[in-house]
Amino acid sequence: MFLPSTFRPIHQALAAGFTLLFLATPSGSVLSAQSAGRSTGQIAAANYASSPQAERFVNDLLARMTLEEKIGQMTQIALNSPEGPKRDERIQKGEVGSLLFVRDPKEIDRLQHLAVEKSRLHIPLIFGFDVIHGYRTVYPIPLALAASWDPVTTERAQRMAAREASSVGIRWTFSPMLDIARDPRWGRIMEGSGEDPYLGSRMAEADIRGFQGTSLSNPDSILACIKHFAGYGAAAGGRDYDSSDISDEQLWNVYFPPFHAAVEAGAGSLMSAYMDLNSVPATGNRWLLHDVLRQDWGFQGFVVSDWDSVKSLTTHGFASAPEDAAVRAVNAGVDMEMTSTTFRDNLADALKKGLVQQGTIDRAVHDILIAKYKLGLFKDPYVPIERSQTELVSKDQRGAARSIATRTAVLLRNQDNLLPLKPGLKSIALIGPLADSKPDIMGSWSLGSHPEDTVTVLEGMRRRFEANGTKILFTKGVEIERVQPSIFDEQFPSPKPTLTTDDARQAEFNHAIDLVKQSDVAVLVLGEAQTMSGERASRSSLTLPGKQQQLLEAAVATGKPVVLVLANGRPLDITWASTHVPAILDAWYPGTEAGNAIADLLSGDAVPGGKLPVTWPRSVGQVPIFYARNLTQIPNDPDTRYWDGSSAPLYPFGYGLSYTTFALSGLKQSAQTVRSGGSFDVSIDVQNTGKAAGDQVIQLYTHQSAGSASRPVRELKGFCRIALKPGERQTVTLTLQTKDLGFWSPQTHRWSIELGTFDLWVGTDSNATEHATFEVTAP
């Protein structure tokens, strides 16, 4: 994983902003690499810059700190840690820098008063929590936010989450997760933005803007923590915590870009990953945490380990003992240890032995204190108790959650325009184990929520339809339960099954089908319980859990129109449904306002406009599957690679329908030739040709025809979500930056923009057909 020494001077020169030209590549093309005025490090430093006042304050404080106080700042303890009564004592001694999982604003305020008023140097604590997709008000999961294909929507969700979390004294979130995921078996795919580095990068920037606001010193801003650096989403077999084996080419071109974008956007902290990356644990990987992150990218924030991941360096067989683990982690670039006490127990002795330098510890503490200063904690550390009383689950929060949930849903099928449901229906059968489950419709990582706040699909449908005379006939039909317990069962459990005998289960199944027969239309809410997705929630299959598939098939067999609403955190095997169920709406896990948002969508009060941020497989045998594959010697038959079935995805990346239709025409370019380092505009006319207002996402893809390495058949390089009224036409213009055409070449071992011919396509998914070409020339 180390950059060969031969190439380091070149890489460092590029990071410093020099322009380099190389000739005589294997394809005969000319390669260019150049800065756009500032280096990566300069951009990152500018977006997370500390003021001279902050530096003077922190350096003065650092000079007065004892070694024990410095190591204390590098220590985070959890609410449920075995510290017991010693916690308060340690805080007063300045031996704790951060606390995790404390949610009660009064307790946060009490602990902060201890730190500020009782410790020798009055250094405030920073309280962290997993604000992943909302705090008390739960918003759609991150994968769903990516499905909005609208960074403004993502930024709004995270801004609202920051407002709530900060109101109780939480000023640090362990989000966003920026791991690219191309294997839906991996449970944490729900926590990121999907498979594509360009889409993931734009969402990463939006996450940082949302959490951190216009200034970290604003009382409603919270410090973002980008995670898990790096390669966690490529766990072997999709098994959470398993090692990742990723080539340099894939790291630089696929897995690094969202992190790089977040660093340039000014992310204030970063979390190292649990797992081995190419046989080196990420938490002890100096190449990742120093060479790439700080040296090449100019990261100015601080690095926190993942839960117990410093201690676990011994478990990996990487460190020989706890002291060795502490030494390796801090020398690699970890500044704060989450929950375990390896730093606290070993760093002082390691310093005496010369295994760690004083400067290494001082730099770590400096970066932590700068973050606290930027958050305004030295000036105003206490909790504004009254603010939480008006912010939590407020009218504004609920309104935002409902609106955002409608923007993230993806319409996968709508045969004969079954949706939206027509007015005048006498009855709707609402069936499914997730239709009236408050925890399950919110999704995993809803740890700060109160389930009683949530509107279930049943509640939302009754409010919307029964007021107009349509009766809702509800029963769950089947129950589902995770086979193995979840690590979150104590904090946020799913409902336990209540049908305990085969006879009871069969009677409930039959009752559901009877209700379908009695209704004008059936809506089945199926998918996964929230414990089936998320951390330590990987799967060996993608089928609908339990007997949901049998329930769906039995409902369709009645001959009544059926709408399938999916509640899920990953693509599921709905291949049968894709040809037998007239309408399929993927709602993901929509959050607190789930029921109202789904009722809005089914009734037509809102129109689905989301697009898939992942390629949807036909079966688990296809995974990992993604659109940006390389060409092969038989490029004309990409969908016939399996003799026993199609190798084509069920739905392509970027796919999503609407209640209206759109026509694209008139593809134009502002230039046919562009110099490396420049840009040009690509425009296309979009018309709403249907009878309903709706949103469409215009997507731009490119392909490099030849170069130093084979490039993916298509790569997303631009997108724009627009809203059009019936009959309305709009010209959409996307600016293509040549810097976005650059890549890290396995031949040259550097990042460059290569000269030559490129294809471009514009359309509404990764199978876009409007085509043109352009040339990139020397600057």
Cα–Cα distances (Å) from 153 to 81, 609, 624, in that order, read 36, 12, 28
Which residue's entry shows tokens 């909790």?
383
Percent of the chain residues past pLDDT 70, beyond the cut: 94
User: What is the rounded average pLDDT of the residues 616-637?
Assistant: 92
Residue ranges of alpha helices (H) inside 79-227 are: 86-92, 105-113, 142-147, 151-167, 197-212
Q: What is the per-residue pLDDT across 89-114, written as a single tens digit (0 to 9) for each?
A: 999 999 999 999 999 999 999 999 99
Task: Output Rg (C-alpha) for the chain, integer angstroms.
Answer: 26
Is the distance from CB of 139 to CB of 591 less than 8 angstroms? yes
Say how far apart CA 192 and CA 234 lie, in whole Å: 13
Q: What is the per-residue pLDDT across 282-317, written as a single tens digit (0 to 9) for each?
A: 999 999 999 999 999 999 999 999 999 999 999 999
**Residue 280: strand pairing partners:** 277
Is the distance from CB of 352 to CB of 67 less than 8 angstroms? no
User: What is the rounded average pLDDT of the residues 513-521?
Assistant: 98
Residue 355 burial (CB < 10 Å; 0-12/13-18/19+)?
Answer: middle
Confidence tier at 581 by pLDDT (50, 70, 90): very high
Say how far apart CA 761 and CA 733 lie, in whole Å: 13
The number of beta carbons lying within 10 Å of the beta carbon of residue 481 is 14
Closest CA to 266 of 424, 49, 473: 49
**pLDDT value for 50:** 86
**pLDDT value for 18:** 31
Is the distance from CB of 434 to CB of 441 less than 8 angstroms? yes
Region of poorest pLDDT, from 47-61, 235-249, 598-612: 47-61
The answer to whether residue 10 scores a pLDDT higher than 60 is no
Sheet holding 471-475, edge to edge: 410-414, 583-586, 562-567, 521-527, 427-431, 471-475
Confidence tier at 124 by pLDDT (50, 70, 90): very high
Coil, strand or helix: which one is 745? strand
Which residue's entry shows tokens 């509404």?
764
Closest CA to 174 of 297, 258, 272: 272
Q: What is the per-residue pLDDT across 436-482, written as a single tens digit (0 to 9) for each?
A: 999 999 999 999 999 999 999 999 999 999 999 999 999 999 999 99
Please identify every residue annotated as catalytic.
306
Cα–Cα distances (Å) from 12 to 16, 386, 465, in that order, read 6, 51, 63
**pLDDT value for 684:** 98
User: What is the rounded average pLDDT of the residues 631-638?
Assistant: 82
**pLDDT value for 329:** 98
The answer to whether residue 13 scores a pLDDT higher than 50 is no
DSSP conformation letters of 533-588? SSTT---S--SPSTTHHHHHHHHHHTTS-EEEEEE-SS----TTHHHH-SEEEE--
CA angle 16, 18, 23 (to 5 degrees): 135
Say how far apart CA 525 and CA 558 lie, in whole Å: 17
The answer to whether residue 338 scores a pLDDT higher than 90 is yes
**pLDDT value for 304:** 98
Confidence tier at 638 by pLDDT (50, 70, 90): confident
Start-to-end C-alpha separation, the chain: 32
Say how far apart CA 270 and CA 226 lie, in whole Å: 5
Is the distance from CB of 225 to CB of 171 less than 8 angstroms? no
The answer to whether residue 149 scores a pLDDT higher than 90 is yes
**pLDDT value for 48:** 82
- Tell me the pLDDT of the chain averaged across its residues: 93
**pLDDT value for 20:** 31
One-letter amino acid of 54: A
Confidence tier at 39 by pLDDT (50, 70, 90): low
Cα–Cα distances (Å) from 125 to 97, 107, 737, in that order, read 5, 13, 43
Q: What is the per-residue pLDDT across 561-570, written as a single tens digit (0 to 9) for each?
A: 999 999 999 9
Say how far apart CA 60 and CA 65 lie, in whole Å: 9
User: What is the rounded average pLDDT of the residues 598-619?
Assistant: 98
Neighbouring residues of 482: CB distance < 8 A, sequence distance ≥ 6: 494, 529, 531, 532, 537, 545
Sheet holding 172-173, edge to edge: 172-173, 126-129, 98-100, 75-78, 337-338
